[in-house]
Structure 1
């Protein structure tokens, strides 16, 4: 139960504020630019004396070699969908040029190795591709009589490109798995809370029906001697029946699995708020209440309002601790009931909720928001600018739940 927990995010949705580069925003366009750039580098650059690079005259390029460069560059555009095939094409195109001045496709092979690590599903092809690339680097270095240090550095770059891509892939998979688990946990909490709410509504309906049975029996007993009293009892039965049907419509909107009820008595409501306030005051919380409710509330709204206040006070006690000043305000408004719980957050933090304040198991903001949504209302919870916390719930008194 963490009042500071944000809404659960949908899996795969990017985190707001996270940097997204061009390869994430425009993958096709970025890959086209990358493939073109690597093709031009392979065509225009060549080794020069003294470990330098020089610009190659375009008119002096051997036409079959230019075709190999073009094939490797075009294949690089497909590096996300077919990374293994792209690496094979790059290595095959590079092989005939090894040991010559046209052996400048190492950059294409490096990008292809990174793509295998980043986008390939299997673990088998990466090491094989790295081995083939290192063999090509070694052959090219020996044919050019490069020092072993240069050959070793080239092999390290080849293997490092694949390893970097692989690490980024594993990191992305872990992030996606975390988001899925987070969404699954949010769904589980909502389902559990809906089950608990349905159980409570079931008890409310059962209590209404029990009252109808008692009143109908009383009307039958006095029908002969006191017709007026019998009519009043039957009118009460009619009213209770209407209320029971109204509650039942809301109950049917919440899936309730077969489970035993926690108790047989009626569920609490705002009439029990003084007892709740007394309990949390005994636990050390400084609570004041302003109750502006004038008219009786439907049982489902009365129950949910009580549970929201109970959960909010539990949250204050758990996160801000005793001696925190908390004000609970209940208001009748044109669109329904408004509940506002304010605290200054200046209490002494405790590790758990004292035993004096016991209530049904909940899930903090998630559970309270689910209660409000089932009634067609809303709930907002956020820190106050000057310290503390503000929770505002709006519960329609009439209408169907969402």
Structure 2
């Protein structure tokens, strides 16, 4: 759902709310038999009209100081009791909702609601209203405050959950980088250091002792082979299990046709569009672009729902490689960035100096857009 005016333009909406409340209080009053009748503002006593202005204008600050606004409105309402023009109940109802929706101090919020209920009862007593109407008013005021409070707690939980998701995504990236760096250093750095020392020794004795230089270079070769074996083993541990035996070359943009064909064979409708020259790009850029497309199509299978149609567009303009994957499925099921897949795609793009945006598509569904410098 699109946000309403009170969310999109809060200050303007609150100003309009205050103005409408003042007009209603000054021009509408209770008639006989619970009816509403129009009146001229000139028929309202001046001091009551001033109280209407104060109580209505206070609603403009109902988000910033909800408890203070409720206190002002209740005071103005209480001063009109028994005058025959006690028409600030609407403002009090809005202020009570503001305390529940925007108040941060629970204790003062409860005090404000209790005070509002007291004024509601006094309004009924001074106006000779039946106890049934007074009780109904108490229930309405309490219910409005409770609904506002529940909405505030839900919004606070949503903000906290989003913060936790962002922190989790950051922890994933940090922990993986630290782990890989630590293990690469422990496993490979020792061998590379040995190779450097042996190569330096071979260079030193190459002119005077060729046999020693040959032996040193043999040690360099042996250390290099051991380092390569250990590096392969380390990457094999870090890489998730797959059917790939590790001997095939890394995929690139030329393999997108095969990837799309596999998706179509699995029953998914996928369109592929390419623009520009894609045959002379750095391998790391091609690999990252391929992985982003692969992960995006995997998300289509997981989250878009049956019968969803996906579109893949890859364009190269000479400086940037743009990857755009959209679908017309059921849309975002989790907040962007909450899963390891989105975190991994964003990490690939950022390591190349690019960017990645995810979110709802223009016509529904889900969208992934990446820009990678070439």
The equivalent residue for 1:212 is 196
Post-superposition CA distance 1:205-226 (Å, at most 9, x none): 4432211223334455664242
Equivalence map 1:174-193=2 (5 Å): 174-193=157-176
Name the structure with the higher helix share. 2
Correspondence 1:41 to 2:24: yes
Contiguous gaps of at least 5 residues in structure 1:
1-17, 238-262, 294-304, 306-330, 350-362, 382-390
Q: Which has the higher contact order (CA 8 A, sep 6+)?
A: 1
- Report the more deviating stretch, 138-147 or 76-85: 138-147
Q: Secondary structure in 2 aligned to 1:19?
A: coil
Whether the 8 Å CA contact 1:95–1:136 is kept in 2: the answer is yes
Whether the 8 Å CA contact 1:204–1:266 is kept in 2: the answer is yes
Once the two structures are TM-superposed, the CA of residue 199 in structure 1 deviates from its matched residue by: 2.2
- Compute the RMSD of aligned alpha carbons: 4.5
State the alpha-carbon separation in 2 of the partners of residues 395 and 223 from structure 1: 49
Once the two structures are TM-superposed, the CA of residue 373 in structure 1 deviates from its matched residue by: 4.0
Match of 2:210 among 219, 226, 250: 226
TM-score for the superposition, normalised by structure 1: 0.60
Correspondence 1:374 to 2:351: yes
State the alpha-carbon separation in 2 of the partners of residues 47 and 233 from structure 1: 104
Post-superposition CA distance 1:284-340 (Å, at most 9, x none): x488976389xxxxxxxxxxx9xxxxxxxxxxxxxxxxxxxxxxxxx9843334334
Would the alpha carbon gap of residues 286 and 89 (structure 1) be closer, same or farther in structure 2, given more than 3 Å must change? same
State the alpha-carbon separation in 2 of the partners of residues 104 and 49 from structure 1: 15
The equivalent residue for 1:61 is 44
Whether the 8 Å CA contact 2:96–2:113 is kept in 1: the answer is yes
Whether the 8 Å CA contact 2:26–2:40 is kept in 1: the answer is no
State the alpha-carbon separation in 1 of the partners of residues 108 and 250 from structure 2: 71
State the alpha-carbon separation in 2 of the partners of residues 372 and 98 from structure 1: 66
Q: Secondary structure in 1 aligned to 2:181?
A: helix
Correspondence 1:267 to 2:205: no
Post-superposition CA distance 1:144-182 (Å, at most 9, x none): 221111110111111112111111111111001001111
TM-score for the superposition, normalised by structure 2: 0.64
Equivalence map 1:321-336=2 (5 Å): 333-336=280-283
Whether the 8 Å CA contact 1:116–1:165 is kept in 2: the answer is yes
Correspondence 1:127 to 2:110: yes
State the alpha-carbon separation in 1 of the partners of residues 51 and 355 from structure 2: 64
Would the alpha carbon gap of residues 23 and 151 (structure 1) be closer, same or farther in structure 2, given more than 3 Å must change? same
The equivalent residue for 2:3 is 20
Contiguous gaps of at least 5 residues in structure 2:
221-226, 253-277, 303-339, 359-367
State the alpha-carbon separation in 1 of the partners of residues 355 and 52 from structure 2: 61
Whether the 8 Å CA contact 2:120–2:137 is kept in 1: the answer is yes
State the alpha-carbon separation in 2 of the partners of residues 286 and 207 from structure 1: 28
Count of paired positions: 288
Equivalence map 1:1-400=2 (5 Å): 18-202=1-185, 203-219=187-203, 223-226=207-210, 230=213, 266-268=230-232, 285=243, 291=249, 333-337=280-284, 338-339=286-287, 340=290, 366-367=343-344, 370=347, 373-374=350-351, 376=353
Post-superposition CA distance 1:8-38 (Å, at most 9, x none): xxxxxxxxxx521111111110000001111
Whether the 8 Å CA contact 1:197–1:371 is kept in 2: the answer is no
State the alpha-carbon separation in 1 of the partners of residues 108 and 100 from structure 2: 9
Would the alpha carbon gap of residues 192 and 276 (structure 1) be closer, same or farther in structure 2, given more than 3 Å must change? closer
